[in-house]
Chain A
Amino acid sequence: MGVLGWVLTNFWALLFTALVALVGARIAWRLHRYGATRKELSHILRRSPFYILVLVFCSFALAPFLIMFLHTFKTDGDLYRRPQPFVFRQEPTIEHLDALFNNTAYLEFIRNSVGVGIAVVIITLLLSLPAAYALARLTGRWGERAAILMFLVYLVPPTLLFIPLFRIVVLLGLKDSPWSLIVVYPSFTVPFSMWLLQGFFKAVPPELEEAALVDGYNRVEAFLRVVLPLSLPGIISTVVFTFTLTLHEFIYGLVFIADTSQRTLSVGVPTELILGDVYFWQPLLAAALIIAIPVGLAYNLFLDSLVQGFTMGAVKG
């Protein structure tokens, strides 16, 4: 286990040291920059409750993830016999990670989720890119009403639709096929991304399109050659959030697909890695954590752009 084992067995000491070192370094930097005056010291003191508040919120948000992380590497004996959940009494092990990838359908779930996600993103973009442009620029009043209708549609919860959709899926012979999800998921990703893209398109200065029209482009060409390239960052963030929406979806995935080899991550992990009353806790917790971290990073990276798209989308143009 080497370095990882050492980090894990000394986890809390290392975390605490890192936190103290960071705070110390920051204070030292401020004192060095602004001088160790009374004013500066009282400023640091006045700021500290704010940081403690941040720390409290972070601890609450992070708690289950920390537990997931530590438990991934615990041996069965360490986990179940006279449990001490926060420390390692036995040497950390990666055998459960190994088991997760080699003895379970986890990799298949990942493959299914990625496949469904990519297909849904493509359909969503094909439908919502032109539609969002129409809402942002081409249609007047009735376009606004269509936008509101779309928003209402996004609010219709899957729990209201899954029963009739289940019948339709069975009738079409798509039960147990990822195609059922590929066809149905755009029903919520299209309204979502239309709303978002509309905001990004409104942010493109109309003068640029006017210039393109004067230069002899038609509307469609102006959209394809001027508006799309300029909105590329917004489109990328739409892709990221659309993909994660499909990753999150649970109810349709649970109802439409009963075949283990076809299930997606969000359904497969909680239903297939639990055998009756037997929970394979370490692989389960690892499976959840491995997905949570990259999605969390993606959300944080694209959050500003999401906020910008939604606020622009809400402003009447």
Chain B
Amino acid sequence: MASLALPAFPLDNRRLVGILFLAPALIYILLLVGFPFFLAIAFGFSDVTVGNTSLNFVGLRNFQAVWENDIFRQVFETTIRFTLISQLFILIFANILAIIFTQNFTGKWFARFIVILPWATPVSLAMIGWLWMLDTKYSPIDYLLLQTGFLGRGGILSDDRNLFWLATPSLSQISVIFVQVWRMTPLATVILMAGLSSIPTDILDQAEVDGSRFMRTLLQIKLPMILPIMVIALLFSMITMFGDMTVVYVLTRGGPVDYTRVLGLYSFQVGIEGGNLAQGAAISLFAFPLLLAMAILMLRTASRAEVR
């Protein structure tokens, strides 16, 4: 009997079981995220390529070369511009949608299904749809504009039959930003919905008793109360977008010229397609300080919100 009772004793120790339960996941993550992360830094300071695997320390040479590269400067700027502009629209639309979907209305389930669809679809597959929507020759959007007189001979936008969405500098950037807004708005909406539905109902009831109308409740109670969650949603989707390369990989491969090349894609093209692993790693590492700053800001907002 004693031999049976003995091994059971450690399993009652809260702390010990806690460590035993947590350890496998922590170790796995450290191995698969921590180790590669430091390897990325090591690569950045080395001359490793796909062909030559020996790691020779070359100091800051890669970072210097990347920083002095005009293409990189443009890529970095484009990435930041895409992220900031699309976040603005995402925040506006997500707020409206979150307010819509925390109301009760007929057909809500179906409407929610449709609105979530862009986020639920694997990005690369949704981009195939957009590739056709923005096609140089067959774009259905161009067709609609042509029928309504915006395009074609004497058209308001252009005399041409097409706008060449993905082939002109400004339109290609607008297209990428639009598509990012299209696919990321549902995620921000879901986060904001969580925030709106966690507002204690007694506060809203009290507001109603006090005669507060819909707009007033919204502007003076709901929006201020979910402000921290809005900041979290914003930073979350900023971080997701900053690290994304799928959209431009499928839509433009960074073209025309470099107008839609973003950091992740550039690091892929230099590091994997070009075989220069060291410089590819150095490129992606330039994103790290920004990502870290956003993450810290996000956590501080979250903890401050909890204190209140």
Contacts and interface: CB of A to CB of B under 8 A. Distances in A.
Interface stretch (A3-11, A144-152, A230-238): A144-152
B122 A265 contact: yes
Contacts of B116: 296, 299-300, 303
B21 A306 contact: no
Interface string B81-116: 000000000000100110010010111010111111
Which one of B20, B53, B117, B281 has the greatest number of beta carbons of chain A within 10 Å?
B117
A50 B96 CA distance: 11
Nearest to B292: A152
B134 to A, nearest CB: 10
A290 B24 CA distance: 37
A164 B40 contact: yes
A67 B140 contact: yes
Interface stretch (B65-73, B216-224, B262-270): B262-270
22 contacts: A26-B106, A53-B96, A53-B100, A62-B114, A67-B133, A83-B138, A127-B25, A159-B267, A160-B287, A162-B268, A163-B280, A166-B277, A168-B39, A184-B32, A221-B11, A251-B268, A288-B126, A288-B129, A289-B129, A296-B117, A300-B120, A307-B190
A163 B33 contact: no
A128 B299 CA distance: 22
Contacts of B115: 57-58, 61
Contacts of A71: 132
Given A162-B268, A187-B28, A250-B124, 7 more contacts: A65-B117, A156-B291, A159-B244, A167-B43, A219-B11, A287-B128, A292-B122
A237 to B, nearest CB: 13
Contacts of B103: 50
B26 A146 contact: yes
Contacts, number: 280
A128 B302 CA distance: 23
A54 B280 CA distance: 44
Contacts of A156: 33, 37, 291
A295 B33 CA distance: 28
Shortest 3 CB-CB distances between A and B: which pairs?
Answer: A157-B243, A138-B18, A159-B264
B29 interface: yes
Which one of B22, B39, B291 has the greatest number of beta carbons of chain A within 10 Å?
B22
A64 B29 contact: no
A292 B121 contact: yes
B277 A80 contact: no
B12 interface: yes
B40 A153 contact: no
Contacts of B281: 163-164
A211 interface: no
Which one of A86, A130, A143, A184 has the greatest number of beta carbons of chain B within 10 Å?
A130
A218 B11 contact: yes
B125 interface: yes
Nearest to A249: B122
A300 B186 CA distance: 11
A46 to B, nearest CB: 11
Which one of A153, A165, A250, A291 has the greatest number of beta carbons of chain B within 10 Å?
A250
B243 A158 contact: yes
Contact of B113 (A60, A247, A285, A300): A300
A160 B125 contact: no
Nearest to A288: B125
Given A159-B287, A219-B11, A54 B29 contact: no
A131 B21 contact: yes
A50 B102 CA distance: 13
Interface of B: 8, 11-15, 17-22, 24-26, 28-29, 32-33, 35-37, 39-40, 43, 48, 53, 93, 96-97, 100, 103, 105-107, 109, 111-130, 132-133, 138, 140, 143, 182, 186, 190-191, 193-194, 197-198, 236, 239-240, 242-246, 249-250, 263-264, 267-268, 271-272, 277, 280-281, 284-285, 287-288, 291, 295, 299, 302, 306
Given A167-B277, A251-B246, A288-B126, A63 B133 contact: yes
Interface string A178-189: 000001101100
B21 A130 contact: yes
A203 to B, nearest CB: 14
A22 B110 CA distance: 13
Contact of B21 (A61, A64, A67, A138): A138
Interface residues of A, number: 101
A226 to B, nearest CB: 14
B132 A67 contact: yes
B267 A296 contact: no
B193 A285 contact: no
A190 B29 contact: yes
A220 B11 contact: yes
Contacts of A64: 126, 129-130, 132-133
B25 A159 contact: no
Nearest to A151: B299
A160 B40 contact: yes
A297 interface: yes
Contacts of A165: 32, 36
B72 to A, nearest CB: 15
A303 B194 CA distance: 10
Contacts of B15: 138-139
Contact of A266 (B93, B124, B245): B124
A61 B182 contact: yes
Interface in A188-237: 190-191, 194, 213, 218-221
B29 A164 contact: no
A81 to B, nearest CB: 11
Given A58-B115, A61-B117, A163 B126 contact: no
Given A26-B106, A61-B114, A160-B284, A295 B24 contact: no
